[in-house]
Every structure is written in C-alpha cells, then in structure tokens.
Amino acid sequence: MPSIGAWFHRYTGQVVLHRPPAHNQNTTSADYHTPQEEHIVNDRERWVATMHYQPVDHVPDEEFGYWKDTFPIWHKQGLPTYVTNNKNADRYFGFARRESVGVNVFLKPRFRQRVIEDEADHQIIINTDGARAIVHKSGASSIPHFLEFALKNRQDWETTFKPRLNPKTPTRYPADWEERKKEWATRDYPLGVYCGSLYGWIRDWMGFENAAMCFYDDPDLIEEMMEHLTNLTLTVIERAVKEVKLDFAAMWEDMAFNNGPMISPTLFRRFMVPRYKRITAFLKQHGIDVVYLDCDGNINQLVEGWLEAGVNCMFPVEVRAGTDPVELRRRYGRQCLLMGGVDKMRLREGRAAIRKEIARIENLVADGGYIPHVDHRCPPDVPYQDYLYYLEVKRAAFGIPTPERGKKWAKNREEG
C-alpha cells in the first residue's frame, strides 16, 4: 500500500505511482523526491488514496447497481442477455472491484421465506425477517405491502430474535476463511467488513409504526436491542479485523424519508450515536478509518451525528431527497467522505441533463474524498443508451480510462 508520501505523475501516457523508500535513520527528505519503483496503480491503492485525499490518477470507477426490472428492459435495448444481475453488470461495464470479507452479523438463521397464499396477481409471503407481506407479481422491484411483523414485544425479542443473534454461531464466518485470508494478503482491490445496523434492522423486524411507538412506550427495549446489536457486531468482527488488513467498514440504516429522518435527531443522538462511537473506536484501533453508512432519503439532520460518532462516509447521497453532495462538503468540509450523489432522475431526462449533472460535481471530485456514481440502483425507465452515455461522460470528465477488463469479460462470455 502506498504511504501518505506517495505521489503520482504521467509517464509514457500511463499513470505510474512512485513509492518512496522505506524510512530509516539514514533517510533524508531528498530521498522522497527520487523515484525508486515504478508501479501501476491498482484498485485498492486508488480507492484508499481517494478516501484519504491523497494524489491519485483518477477516482475509482464504481456504480451502485440496477433494479431487477431494469435488466429485461435493457436486454431489448442492447444489453447482452447474459447480463442478468448486478454482479455480472459490474463485470460487463468493467467497474472497479470492491469486496467484503463475508462475515455475517445478521439473523442466524434467517426466517425461511415461503409463500402462504398464491393468487393471480400477488402472493402473500413470509419473508426472511419473519414478516408477512403481500408481494405483487407485476414488478420484481415493487415494494411489498406488510401485513404483520414477527417482532411485536419483549417476549418476541427474547424467544425468537435474540437466539438468532448469537455471536457464537459458528457459521458467521465463511467455511473457507483461512483460504480466503491467503488470497486477501496479496489482493489488489479494497476489502472491508460489514458492521450491521442499529435502527434499520429493528424497523424491518417491528415495522416502522411499531418501532416508532416503541421508542416512547418501551425505550428500555429499544436500548436493549441496540446494545445487543452493538455487542454482536463488536464480538463477531473482532477476528476479521485482527487477522486481515482491511480498508473500510460498512453499515446500513435506511432511516430517512425524502423530507427527513424516521426518528428525531434527539432520539438518534441518545440511542445511536454512543453505540456508533464504540464500533468506530474499535475499528480505528485496528487501522480502519473509513466507515461508510448506507442510508437513502434526506439525511441532512443526521450527518452531524454520524460524523461525531466516527461514521465518516455518506452513501448513496440521494439527491432527489434533498441530500446534495456539494452542500454536504461545503457544510462539513473534508471530514465528510462521500459515495454516490449523481441524481438518477437526470439520467432519464436526456443527454444534456446528464452532462449538466456531471458538470455539477466536477469541483467536488477534484477536491477528493468522493467517489461519484448514481445515487441508488438505476431504474428501468433510464434508457440503456443514455446510461452508456452517462458512463462515457463521467469517465471522460474524471479521467477514467475505458476499462479493458469489461471487454475481456464480455468476450469470454460470448465465446464460452
């Protein structure tokens, strides 16, 4: 990994990283201005440099993904039919690789998803959170209509959920953990660990209204559940952060509507900020200083608390909800890292709108600490050719070369 003192320059048309020599008692400042080793920047180095405001050849080439309904529509518009999911799409478009160690801090086991009623236009299912819901057959990406939730009270927590959140469950780590560690030791891509959720999971298990009332009717239960989730995360990830040199940590909440958070900033600071602090302090003890949190909606009233708690990267920065990456950087400066922030709605408004949207964030990208991509999964009403144009404009604006790996992967699929 390049040090803070590493620098980049142009060399025969290709960006080359020069590593400074290892420091010792005989090293002088002059040694740090003599290139010692030419090195082509890889995905890991580029990602880490971007997130630490270090010199870099270009920002990482990443995207959030696509709704399931998008693929069949795009197949009719030119996308190869073998591209049917987000993983294959990442490979086809040649995006930079970023992975997680696969440590599981969620329910173990999950509830068995099953269909309990099957009608002509919809099904009633029990999902993997134990909730009963109506799912319409007309669209794979449609939002379910929930009828009942599995977590209703303290008894449900103690007898049904808490046993599934046992940190000692052996399957929380991949069976081939030792083999994976050998691969990760020489990896050229960023690798992180997933640190779960505090509010978001509780809301999924209880339902929004029930969770909201529980903060007032039984705050001790909320406290107990969040404390358990915090301890679960800290216990489970300990082995991972000690045995693998990781580049980031990730969390998920989805606790905001388009007009603001689902709980008040006061409750957020009381119940959640202290627990985030414990998690991020533990991560920093093990060299992980980039912690991003996935929360859709308008997060403006929550950002200050997250930053105070050590959660320093906002994702996916949903513009249509009023979360503007340019404004967040203006307000919080370089302490606020960002991923996302390209308004998906502009992609369906034509090519002039796409160019304008990319131009809007050019200065922010140049400032660093920001990986630009669409601010959620790309919806099916974005024309495929306009999406390709968006990638072309983004890559040209930010000096991202057209990736050869995507072409190679597509060729192998077509020949195979």
Q: What is the pLDDT of residues 363-383, one digit of tens each?
A: 999 999 999 999 999 999 999
**Mean per-residue pLDDT, 225-238:** 99
- Chain segment 279-328, per-residue pLDDT in tens: 999 999 999 999 999 999 999 999 999 999 999 999 999 999 999 999 99
Whole-model pTM?
Answer: 0.89
If you average pLDDT over every residue of the chain, what do you get? 91
Please identify, in words, the CATH class of the domain defined by 47-105+150-415: alpha beta
What are the angstrom distances between the C-alpha of 220 and each of 47, 186, 213, 244? 41, 46, 12, 36
Q: Domain residue spans in the chain?
A: 7-42, 47-105+150-415, 112-149
**If pLDDT is split at 50, 70 and 90, which confidence band does 405 have?**
confident
Rounded CA separation 87/363 (Å): 30
The number of C-alpha atoms within 13 Å of 376 and in the hemisphere containing its C-beta is 19
Is the pLDDT score of 65 beyond 80?
A: yes
User: What is the per-residue pLDDT across 83-112, written as a single tens digit (0 to 9) for each?
Assistant: 999 999 999 999 999 999 999 999 999 999
Q: Where are the beta strands (DSSP E) in 12-138?
A: 14-18, 38-40, 99-100, 114-118, 122-126, 132-136
Identity (one letter) of the amino acid at 352? Answer: A
Q: Give, in order, the Cα–Cα distances in Å from 105 to each of 59, 64, 167.
A: 30, 22, 8
Rounded to whole angstroms, the Cα distance separating 74 from 72 reads 5
198 CA to centre of own chain: 16
Contacts of 43 (CB under 8 A, 6+ apart): 60, 96, 97, 98, 188, 189, 190
Question: What does the alpha-carbon distance between residue 365 and residue 369 come to, in Å, rounded to a whole number?
Answer: 8
Whether the Cβ atoms of residue 324 and residue 277 lie closer than 8 Å to each other: no
- Other beta carbons less than 10 A from residue 231's beta carbon: 14
**Mapped to the 3 state alphabet, what secondary structure does 123-165 carry?**
EEEECCCCCEEEEECCCCCCCCEEEECCCCCHHHHHHHHHHHH
- Can you give the pLDDT at residue 137? 83
How many other C-beta atoms are found inside a 10 Å radius of the C-beta of residue 219?
A: 13
**Number of neighbouring beta carbons within 10 Å of residue 72:** 13
Angle at 348 between CA 346 and CA 353, to 5 degrees: 40
Which stretches of 132-272 are DSSP H helices?
154-156, 177-184, 199-206, 208-217, 219-243, 265-267
**Tell me, what amino acid is at 349?**
E
Q: Which two tokens stand for residue 317?
A: 């920065």
φ/ψ (deg, to 5) at 232: -60, -50
Q: Which helix (H) or strand (E) holds 280?
A: helix 273-285
Phi, psi of 117 (to 5 degrees): -145, 135
β-strand partners of 114: 126
Indicate if the pLDDT at residue 190 is higher than 80. Answer: yes
